[in-house]
Amino acid sequence: MSFLNPLFLFDLLTVAVPLLIYLLNIKKPKRIQFSTLAFFESLKTTALKRIKIKRWLLLAVRCLAIIVLVVAASRPFMPPEFNWISNQEPRMIGVLIDNSPSMERVDRNGPYYEQALSLARDLIALTENNDRTVLNVTNGESLNLPPLTKQAAERRLGEIEIANAGNYLKERVDAFRNQFESTGMSNSVLYIISDAQESQFSKLLEDESDEFENLRVQVLNVGDSQTINVGFEQVAIEMGGIEEASSVQIRAELRNFGDGDANNISLSLLIEDELIAQQTLNIERDALHDVVFDLPIPNNSRNIAAELLIEGDELSFDNRYYAAIQLPEKREILVLNEPGASRSMQSYLTPLLQAAAEESNRFEFRFQTPDAIQVADIFQYDAVILDGIRNIPDFLSQSLLEHVQAGAGLLLLPAADGSVTGYNRLLSFSGSGSYTNVTGSYGSFNPIDRMAPPAEGHPILDMIFDKQEDEEIRLNVPEIFYYYEIDTRDRGADVTILRTTTGRPLLSEARVGSGRFIYSALGSDPGWSNFPIKPFFAPLMYRTIDYLVQGEGAVIRDHTLGEPFRAMPGTGFDNAELEIAGETILPEIRQTFRGAEITYPAIEWTPGWLKIHSGENSLLFSVNQHAMESALDALSSTDLEESLAGKFEQVAVSRVVEDASGFLAELEMASFGREIWYWFVLMGILLLLLESIISRHYKAETIE
């Protein structure tokens, strides 16, 4: 029997404590002869002897209890030659080497990766000729090797390299378990050699199954260095408002994942290897820093291949972020208006949309009068705006609602002398509220109410205001001269977007089938209010239209390494091919009701560009490491061992010391032996119970 924590054996000296107490309590009584004490002479061979026996029994039990508990704390184990597993039985060891990019770091003992390979060679050297070794790596493609002899395993070690690919530690541990079970070699153990980076073990720690309960694992933790590393926490796309409709921005959130402040860090934006912009940053330890770049919009393409490059930190594997940006499709919107209608001033919405049509690459507006449009043509537009239409005929109402139910958007801005009956028929067909009274005087410019400050919660308003979570919205609210009162009491599903200060709805939304119908209490000319001349008017109209067409904004088509690739590009990709790093791949394609679904394991992929080709159709994707890979924090040996304890039959985590010769010999004994500390804990409990039984039930007469 040997011990994993032999220093605890020094605690055996505590056995002297009960002995000293016993010896100090022994006092020889002074002899005095009395004639009447003859009666007590007979007790010398009865009760007094029983008292002495009881004291010696209690002393022995207490000393033994201390001894076994100290031995239990020293973690005793039985080496293989004393275990039920014969020392002559061939052994199988698995060696899983962490080849993630974080192993490129260097400490006083050299590169982490070289330390891991050296340790693996030492482990293999401890095996016998009949033993077998299985090798594998955590990142990238699996080695898929059979059990190897000592010499073959040592040769294969020289072929292992760092891979800036996905992390598959959990999957590789499962593969070792399957290999051990398939060979039937019960005398087996898995060694995981790693820097204990938290992201490497995340999937394994999150797994709640019991599939590894028969596996014995030894985690060997290498490396101990202080590193400055800045990585990408998040990258996202932002679109400009109507005043900058063609603006697209990329926002990069950088975090200092290192062990100290990062100074003179530069972040560059490149498109097709051309430097577009650059910023220099100083980021404190564990701090975040946002950087926003304006992106140039190409005239003949909906794709931008942008790269973000970090320079100035110590690690390079996470310094480049690939962003395959897909610009939104152009949406066609029909605007129906009646120029020169009686009592109506000029609409401010029409010139606003005309300016947006010239500047924006997102929207294309077509302006028509109701008598010039063919009803069948309505269905080709993504949204319809009714701007100051005095009367909406029933046939037009029916067609509009059919289109909205199919997923289009509809915006109604009434005319000052419009037909309330016609408006309400449209609203009743859609199941919305209704217009009731008219309040105020059109064109009087005498305020009768104001718009209440906008409240958060609706997507239109949330897209307009860029503010902190607890920051209040400050707005120069418009004055109202004239408006239609909206009654939504019978329509609990209607959503009020804007209100007056007296609580009357100004802008409301109703869901109609798959589409959205927004109706206003105000028109778009200054006879209703001074709203059209307020700065809030333009972004509100732009975001309302953006919300109605339900179109995606610019997005980054990105795949994160470590997960299977899955995409649904839609129709036209029935015979797709994948192109990455100059290689063409045939993925698995499955037809669904939404078009082709493309899947591929993507185990061997590294960061870069991915293209999907199918005839004349093409899509660009970016491939990047998970942001967690930049976090270099290592789990402590205690935390990692406690986290893994319930997943394996036997697990131990050890930090490798500089002189590994004695460490490896002890490690081999512990790996293939069997810990028996719990035997001694059980013995200690039984001894303490025995002590209680003796104290209570072993009766002995005492002399008062």
Contacts 24+ apart (CB under 8 A), 10-18: 11/70, 11/73, 12/66, 12/67, 12/70, 14/66, 14/70, 15/63, 15/66, 15/67, 17/66, 18/59, 18/62, 18/63, 18/66
**Per CATH, the architecture of 228-323 is what?**
Sandwich (2.60)
- Taking the C-alpha atoms of residue 98 and residue 640, their distance in angstroms, rounded to an integer, is 16
CATH class of the domain at 557-631: mainly beta
Pairwise CA distance, residues 489 & 31, whole Å: 108
More confident residue, 549 or 358: 549
Q: Which residue would you say has higher pLDDT here, 540 or 298?
A: 540
User: Using an 8 Å Cβ cutoff, are 96 and 157 in contact?
Assistant: no
Q: Is the pLDDT of residue 224 over 70?
A: yes
DSSP state of 31: P
Query: Range with the lowest mean pLDDT among 359-368, 421-430, 441-450, 610-619?
Result: 359-368
The residues facing 219 across adjacent strands are 192, 653
Q: How confident is the model at residue 596 (pLDDT cuts 50, 70, 90)?
A: confident
Closest to 432 in 3D by CA, of 506, 509, 547, 503: 509
**Distance in angstroms between the alpha carbons of the first and the last residue of the chain:** 49
Domain ranges of the chain: 2-28+36-78+679-697, 81-185+202-215+636-672, 228-323, 331-549, 557-631
On whether the CB atoms of residues 285 and 236 are closer than 8 A, the answer is no
Residue 245 has pLDDT above 90, yes or no: no
H or E segment to which residue 537 belongs? helix 537-549
Average pLDDT, the chain: 83
What is the pTM assigned to this prediction?
Answer: 0.66
pLDDT tens figures, 39-90: 555 555 556 566 677 777 777 877 887 787 777 777 676 655 444 444 456 7
Which is more confidently placed, 40 or 156?
156
- Looking at mean pLDDT, say which of 388-397, 496-505, 668-677 comes out highest: 496-505
For residues 3 and 26, what is the distance between their CA atoms, to the nearest angstrom? 37
Question: Which CATH code for domain 81-185+202-215+636-672?
Answer: 3.40.50
Q: Per DSSP, what are the bridge partners of residue 450? A: 479
CATH number of 331-549: 3.40.50.880
Are 228-323 and 557-631 equal in CATH topology? yes
Q: What is the mean pLDDT of residues 241-268?
A: 81
Q: pLDDT band at 176, cuts 50/70/90?
A: very high
Highest mean pLDDT among 401-405, 437-441, 557-561: 557-561
CB 524 within 8 A of CB 388: yes
Higher-confidence residue: 570 or 589? 589
DSSP SS3 for 664: helix
